[in-house]
Structure formats: structure tokens, C-alpha cells
Amino acid sequence: MKHHTGSSLILRGRFVATLLSLILSVFWCAGAHADIKVDITIGVVEPIPIAIPSFYGSSANDAQYGRNIAEVVNSDLVRSGLFSAIDPHSFVQDADSLLVAPHFADWRVLNAQGLVVGKVEAQPDGRLKVEFRLWDVFGEQQMTGLAYFTVPNNWRRVAHIVADAIYKRITGEDGYFDTRIVYISETGPGTNKVKRLAIMDQDGENNHVLSDGRAIVLTPRFSPTMQEITYMAYYNNRPRVYLFNIDTGRQDVLGDFANMTFAPRFSPDGNRVIFSLSEQGNSNIYTMDIRTHHIQQLTTGNAISTGPCYSPDGQNITFESDRGGSQQIYTMRANGSDVQRISFGEGNYGTPVWSPRGDLIAFTKLHQGHFYIGVMRPDGSGERELTEAYHVEGPTWAPNGRVLMYFKELVSGPGGRDRETKLYSIDLTGYNERVVPTPTDASDPAWSPLLP
């Protein structure tokens, strides 16, 4: 009994001591960390609301350009999926008072985070001066402000350049709006399609057909130096790789090979073309210097190795091959050494395309009758499928490595006998898939670098 009381006394003593030290530690902690530390590790992924009122113009003509430019900037940014437009009807402040200074409170209630204020002014020499400022509505300060001079016909390009500047300032990445797409325009019935080489602005405007459609044209690719496209065409039933100069319309066959050449792509410096050459049912990868016509064979063996693509630094090459039994993606050094298989998922992998950012490789995958477009890191890790369809193929990167374009074949027509082929773009995150408007069916898109 006595013992029991003793032990409970001890217990109580310890309890009090614990309590005391606890309380002390609380005070000590409170004293030591005057600041509260808050970790935010989850957020939202939402488009940033941005208000783009019509650019101000003092004359009717200028004002019309101002409306058009603001519209193009708006649709560029919204199409990227990273921005959302704010209904112009809700705008309170008018264009000319905006030029003086934005009433930030007015824009804050609209939940605008960015505000673009612009002005168009015809110059005495006939050119247009287009200027804009991007305002941070919450921070109430100017983020950027630029002015451009251009011939009036070029207003659309200026609008894309303005959109690129805004995109770059807010996301930190280069824009991709001032770019073009070359693709294969498809017309006619499914059994006898006419395939023409065509080019358009990234938003589907300014569409031009470049070839007459007498020869089938496939897999066009842009040169990083812009004036040239390489593609494969069947002239006189001989499939060959060609070079095509956009400015002059001149077309040349690449090299003089007895066998079929295909899957061409430019090197990052634009001086070489890497392609496949078929030999007795196999194919291997070659490069050819455009000026010296020097040819180098990079792969050997009795397998099909094709679809080569350089990394943006030109040091490595990714390609597809069936050397391991099934079609998979490999990488190697630019001289053909150190071949590594990087795709290990289920299904067949093909058409690898190295991102201009260098951090990812886009690919097409066929698994259980479904096509996927996905991305993985250059070491094969982090594989993600971005989109899936009955038939989806031909990924091409926007020059900033943030958006992919590809074509999708969809079943259409009575009884599902027809096929409809359209271009689509998707954000790298897998969200915001959108149709790219084309006047005809379209396939095999290739994104240009930023226009010079």
C-alpha cells in the first residue's frame, strides 16, 4: 500500500515534470519561430484569366486593326490552354483611358490577373506602329511593354509576336505563336486520296498548297533554318527523300540512291539530313551533308531501324528499331555508338521525336489495337500517354517543347466507312487537346521553328 502511494507519487512527479517541459518547449518554439512557415504543395492548374481589350486606334482604320490584333492575341493565348479570356462585354474601362493608366480595381473584380493594353497608330510612311503593355493586375505594375513597326498587311504576324511576348513574360518559356505548320492536305475518296504538301500559320490561317498533288507526299519536316522542308515523295513510283525550298519553290532529290529513302529529318544546325535507306527488306539510318553530299551510315545489321531524330544539341539520336524482336525506341550517340533501348512498356513504340527543350521524347505507341501519343524522358523513364485514338500518329513539337501536334484518324460517314483525318494539338501536361483548323483533311504535321 505504502509502496503503491510512493510509486504513484513518483508517477505524478514525472507527469508534472513532463507537463512543465512540454509547456516550456511550446514557449520556446513560439519564441524561436516568430514566422509561421506554411508549405503549399498542392495548387490548381487553371488558365490564367487575362483581359485583352481592343487595341486603341484614333482613326476608324487604326481601330479596326486594333480590334483584329487584340482578337488574334486573345485566341492565340486561349488556344495555348494556359490563359482564359475575359468577356469583353464586362470591361468597364475604355480603351483611351486605359492608355493613361489602368484602374486596377476595375480589372481585379473581373478576376483578371493580366491586362494587355495596346495601341495602333498609322505612321506617315504607311507603316503601322503597334505597341502594347502587359500589366500585372494584382501587383499593379507593368510586366512588359513593347512597340513594333510593320506594313499593315503584316498585322497578323505582329499579333502573334505580341502573343509570344506575353506568353514568354508570364510563363517564362518562349512562345510558339509566330510559327507555321507544314502538313499533308488530303482530298478525294478514301481509296484514291490526293495528298498535297501544304503550309499554314500555326492557327490555321494563311493556308497555301505547295505541291500539285500528282505525286504522293509524306512526312514533311521543317529545317531549323526555315526556308527548307524535307519530305518523302513518290515520283514515278520511286519513293525518295526530297528537299523543297519554300521561298523559291525549288525541289531537289536528296542524294542518288538505288533504293528507297524515307523518314527524313534535319539536324539541329540544318546542315545535314538524317534518313532511312532500305536494303533487302531491312533499313538502316544514314546522314547526308546537304552541301558536301557526304554520306555516313550510322546503324548496321539485319533489322529495320528507322524514324531517326536528333536531340536539340545534336549529340544524340533517337530512332525506332525491331532489332530486339519488337518495334521499340532506342537512343545512340550522333556517330552511331552506344545504342540503348529506352522503351520497355507493353506494345510497339515508334516515331520518336526529341523535344526542342531536350527533356522529353514524344512517341507513338500501338498497344492492343489502340494508338497512343505519349512522352518519356530520354532515359526511358516517366512514360506518359497524352492521347489515345483509333489511329493517332505523327507527333511534332512546338518550338518551345511545350505543345505537341499530331493527326488523328476518326471513323465517319454512313456506316462508319469513311475516315476523317484532322490535326490536333495538346499540351504537354495532357490537357487542352484541340483541333487545328484546316480547310481539308490533314495529316503528318510538322511545326516550324519560330519565324526569324
Query: Among residue numbers 391 through 410, which ones bind other proteins (CB under 8 A)?
Result: 401-402
Residue 182 CA, chain-centre distance (Å), reads 14
For 228-290, give the DSSP string.
EEEEEEEETTEEEEEEEETTT--EEE-S--SS-EEEEEE-TTSSEEEEEEEETTEEEEEEEET
Binding range to other proteins, per CB under 8 A, among 127-135, 158-166, 277-285, 404-412: 127-135
| Cα–Cα nearest to 373, from 355, 389, 397 | 389
Beta-carbon contacts of residue 381 (< 8 Å; ≥ 6 apart): none
Residue with cell 495555348: 80
CB of 47 to other proteins, least distance (A): 8
Count how many Cα atoms sit within 13 Å of the Cα of residue 190 in the half-sphere of its side chain.
Answer: 11
Q: How far is CA 294 from CA 256, 274, 284, 299, in A?
A: 12, 12, 16, 16
172 binds other proteins (CB under 8 A): yes
42 binds other proteins (CB under 8 A): yes
138 binds other proteins (CB under 8 A): yes
CB of 114 to other proteins, least distance (A): 9
The one-character DSSP state at 54 is P
CB of 22 to other proteins, least distance (A): 8
Q: Residue 31: left if φ>0, alpha if ψ -120 to 50, beta else—which one?
A: alpha
Applying CB under 8 A, which of residues 71, 322, 388, 409 lies at the interface with other proteins? 388
Applying CB under 8 A, which of residues 65, 177, 242, 372 lies at the interface with other proteins? 372
CB of 336 to other proteins, least distance (A): 28
CB of 121 to other proteins, least distance (A): 11
CB of 366 to other proteins, least distance (A): 12
Applying CB under 8 A, which of residues 37, 89, 291, 417 lies at the interface with other proteins? 37
Residue whose CB is less far from other proteins, 143 or 303 = 143
8 A C-beta contact, residue 222 and residue 210: no
180 binds other proteins (CB under 8 A): no
Applying CB under 8 A, which of residues 44, 191, 237, 247 lies at the interface with other proteins? 44
Site for other proteins in 72-91 (CB under 8 A): 90
105 binds other proteins (CB under 8 A): yes
